[in-house]
């Protein structure tokens, strides 16, 4: 097994990664797992089940199997988790400013829409600014797109010229 030969596909992490906060929490959990591997004699599977939420431990074990990671080799598992962490760090981040604090269903719908547009999993960095009144401001790849009502109200119209 060589991690340099295969890059972890983060799209399988969609259930766990929607926002930059999710990514930060996930990466902290991965780091905690990596630290635990050499603090105890327990196997990788036991550590995963003890330290990670059940569904996530099951998911990481399944993903490791797909990548042919030998779970009995703690160094290999640790390298695999670090590769996941690196892949998360390299994900595209879309900054999204909204006038209101969005509900989870809206955030998930936005992630799905951006995934369709960019054909890859993206992380949303969501902030709230009530001064935009409605709409959104989107920043991606250094580009700024203002679709706010505030901008529309501030723009001179042809009638005012």
Q: Which residues of 125-135 are buried (b: 16+ CB within 10 A; e: fewer)?
A: ebeeeeebeeb
Q: Give the model's pLDDT for residue 47.
A: 92
What is the average pLDDT score of the chain?
90
Q: What is the pLDDT of residues 79-105, one digit of tens each?
A: 999 999 999 999 999 999 999 999 999
What pLDDT is recorded for position 94? 96
Task: Compute CA distances 34 → 10, 12, 127, whole Å.
Answer: 19, 20, 31
Is 81 exposed, middle or buried, given 0-12, 13-18 or 19+ CB atoms closer than 10 A? buried
**pLDDT at 77 (0 to 100):** 92
Question: What are the tokens at 3?
Answer: 């991690």
Mean pLDDT check: name the lowest of 8-17, 29-38, 150-159: 150-159
In the predicted structure, residue 75 carries a pLDDT above the cut 80: yes
Q: Is the pLDDT of residue 30 over 70?
A: yes
pLDDT at 55 over 60: yes
Return the pLDDT at 3. Answer: 47
Q: Report the relative pairing of strands 122-128 and 92-98 from DSSP bridges.
A: parallel
d(CA 141, CA 94): 8
Q: Which two tokens stand for residue 97?
A: 């400013």
Q: Evaluate whether 82 touches 33 at the Cβ level (below 8 Å).
A: no
Q: How far is the C-alpha of 148 from the C-alpha of 127, rounded, in Å?
A: 14
Give yes or no for a contact between 137 and 146, defined as CB atoms under 8 angstroms apart: yes
Q: Is residue 5's pLDDT more than 60?
A: no
Residue range 33-42: average pLDDT? 87
User: pTM for the complete prediction?
Assistant: 0.84
- Residue 55, both tokens: 């569904």
For residue 15, what is the DSSP state?
A: T
């Amino acid at each position: 097994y060589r991690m340099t030969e295969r890059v972890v596909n983060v799209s399988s992490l969609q259930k766990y990664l929607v926002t930059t906060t999710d990514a930060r929490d996930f990466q902290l959990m991965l780091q905690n797992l990596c630290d635990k591997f050499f603090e105890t004699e327990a196997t990788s599977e036991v550590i995963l089940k003890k330290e990670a939420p059940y569904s996530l431990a099951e998911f990481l074990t399944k993903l490791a199997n797909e990548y042919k990671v030998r779970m009995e080799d703690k160094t290999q598992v640790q390298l695999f988790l670090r590769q996941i962490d690196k892949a998360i760090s390299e994900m595209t981040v879309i900054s999204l400013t909204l006038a209101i604090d969005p509900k989870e269903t809206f955030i998930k719908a936005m992630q799905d829409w951006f995934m369709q547009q960019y054909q890859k999993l993206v992380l949303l960095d969501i902030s709230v600014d009530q001064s935009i009144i409605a709409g959104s401001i989107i920043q991606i790849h250094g580009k700024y797109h203002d679709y706010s009502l505030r901008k529309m109200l501030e723009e001179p119209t042809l009638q005012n010229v």
